[in-house]
Structure 1
Amino acid sequence: MIFVLDAGNTNIVLGIFKDKKLIMECRIGTDAKRTADEYGIQVLKLFSHNNIKPSDIKGVIISSVVPNIMYSIEHMIRKYFKLNPVVVGPGVKTGINIKYDNPKFVGADRIVNAVASHEIYKKPLVIIDFGTATTYCAVTKKGDYLGGAICPGIKISADALFEKAAKLPRIELIKPKRIISKSTVASMQAGIVYGYIGQVDYIVSKMKKEMVAMGEEEPFVVATGGLAKLIAQDSITIDEVNPFLTLEGLRIIYEKNKE
């Protein structure tokens, strides 16, 4: 079994693969103050709940956009699993060619998503990841990572309204039936959700035009992340939602580097 961890700003997503099949997926909160032992206790409880033993794990791979938790996470893996993890970063084989001005500045999550999408779909791609930040990435058919755009995430936008506007409440992120809403909560939901759908479709349409102008076929658009389904319902540009894209990418990168 392969243990994969994707550490984001809000959550750490954990996955277990057995023979390339995802058999466990769960989340724990990202906390820079948490020790290796505290992370270890959490992870072992989740393993026990899913009838998995630490000794069942034969390899571990980590991607992270939160540098200050990496010592605790890596130490937890070495202490509780007796393994040295593969950490996505410079020197790790990915199978894609990063065309960023400085490849070191590309987030590990964006690289992992690009690897997974390139391996799975084998066509020009726009990849959208709805996380704490929303990222848009462009990948050519032959596997060149071209770059993309980064925007505040949907939850950040909602939280900002609550925190900065005295009379506006904290809201649940759901899609109201209409944009012309008759309550403050529904008005906020309409502005955030429908506004984000518009943002997605505009950015993706511009990225498609740029890629086609470079000689690529029209890109396939795949979305992942916690709120991908909410936005994809009304988006006219998202072709597919793949909720486990990042975990699949970690598995693929591990396979490329396991020797």
Structure 2
Amino acid sequence: MLLTIDVGNTNITLGVFDREVLKGMFRMTTNKPRTSDEYGFTICGILEHRSIDPQEIEAVIIASVVPDIMHSLTSGIIKYLDVTPLIVSAQTDTGIRVVTENPSRTGPDRIVNAVAGYDIAKGAAIVIDFGTATTYDLVGPDRTLEACIIAPGIETAGRSLWGGAAMLPAIQIEKPDSILARETVSGMQGGLVFGAIGQTEYIVRRMKEESGYSDAYVIATGGLGKIIAQETDCINLYDPQLTLNGLRLIYDRMKEK
């Protein structure tokens, strides 16, 4: 079986694949410092709790935007799973060509999402990842990652809002019943959620206009992406497993080579 690991700024998302079938998906927090033993023990414990024998993990592939934890994470995997993980970078042969001005600065998560997005669209695509940052990636019909827009994530914007304004409370992010709020909490929820919907619709429209890919297939992923995808027609598909599937596709390509 294949263990895929997406290391984000907030969460580490892990998925176990038996060929093309996702057998389990689980998360760990990223911001907690861990030793290699803690990573290895925690991962093995989670696998066993999901009735997955750690010894059945034959390969591991990682995409990470948090370099500081990679030494401990990879060491823990090597010690506890007896597997040397593959690390995705801008130099990895993923099947997607990065044609931005500075390809080496392109986040591995964005490359992985582009791989999965193209596999779904079979042509031009816009991939939106609602994470710590909200990223909009333009994938061309000839397997090229051409452009990206990066905006504050919905939760990031929320934390900035109540962290910087003493009178505003921390809230749960969800769509309120009406945009015409009559109290503070729903007013904040409306600003965050409806603001994100408006941003998404405008950016997607401009990306299609300026690229000429008017029929680009729009795919969303990320924790809060489901809320936005349900409220706008500009998103064709919401796929919470997009990044993990992209990692699996990259591993399969590397294995064939």
Same-fold call, TM > 0.5?
Answer: yes
1:53 aligns with 2:56: no
The answer for the alignment partner of 2:19 in structure 1 is 19
Q: Deviation per CA, 1:47-76: give whole Å up to 9, x if none.
A: 111111221011110000001010011101
* Separation (CA, whole Å) in 2 of partners of 1:76 and 1:257: 23
- Equivalent position SS for 1:223: strand
Give how far 1:2 is off.
Answer: 0.3
The answer for the alignment partner of 2:118 in structure 1 is 118
* Separation (CA, whole Å) in 1 of partners of 2:173 and 2:54: 37
1:36-185, aligned counterparts within 5 Å?
A: 36-185=36-185
Using the size of structure 2 for normalisation, the TM-score is 0.97
The answer for the alignment partner of 1:253 in structure 2 is 250
* Separation (CA, whole Å) in 1 of partners of 2:122 and 2:33: 41
- Equivalent position SS for 2:110: helix
Give how far 1:32 is off.
Answer: 5.7
* Separation (CA, whole Å) in 2 of partners of 1:210 and 1:236: 20
The answer for the alignment partner of 1:233 in structure 2 is 230
Give how far 1:183 is off.
Answer: 0.7
* Separation (CA, whole Å) in 2 of partners of 1:219 and 1:121: 8
Give how far 1:27 is off.
Answer: 0.3
Q: Deviation per CA, 1:142-198: give whole Å up to 9, x if none.
A: 111102100000001111111100100001101011111111001110111101100
CA contact (8 A) 2:41 2:80 kept: no
Give how far 1:226 is off.
Answer: 0.3
Name structure 1 gaps, 5 residues minimum.
none
CA contact (8 A) 2:15 2:25 kept: yes
Sequence identity of aligned pairs in percent? 45
Using the size of structure 1 for normalisation, the TM-score is 0.96
Paired amino acid for 1:109 = D
CA contact (8 A) 1:47 1:53 kept: yes
The answer for the alignment partner of 1:243 in structure 2 is 240
Paired amino acid for 1:60 = V
CA RMSD of aligned residues (A): 1.1
1:204 aligns with 2:166: no
- Equivalent position SS for 2:232: coil
Give how far 1:91 is off.
Answer: 3.4
Greater Cα shift, 31-40 or 136-145? 31-40
* Separation (CA, whole Å) in 2 of partners of 1:109 and 1:137: 11
* Separation (CA, whole Å) in 2 of partners of 1:191 and 1:99: 35
* Separation (CA, whole Å) in 2 of partners of 1:128 and 1:23: 25
Give how far 1:89 is off.
Answer: 0.8
CA contact (8 A) 1:124 1:217 kept: no
Q: Structure 1 residue runs of 4+, over 2 Å off? A: none
- Equivalent position SS for 1:94: coil
Q: Deviation per CA, 1:116-148: give whole Å up to 9, x if none.
A: 111222021010000000000000111111021
CA contact (8 A) 1:63 1:87 kept: yes
- Equivalent position SS for 2:240: coil
Greater Cα shift, 108-117 or 50-59? 50-59
Name structure 2 gaps, 5 residues minimum.
none
Give how far 1:210 is off.
Answer: 1.3
Aligned length: 256
CA contact (8 A) 1:173 1:193 kept: yes
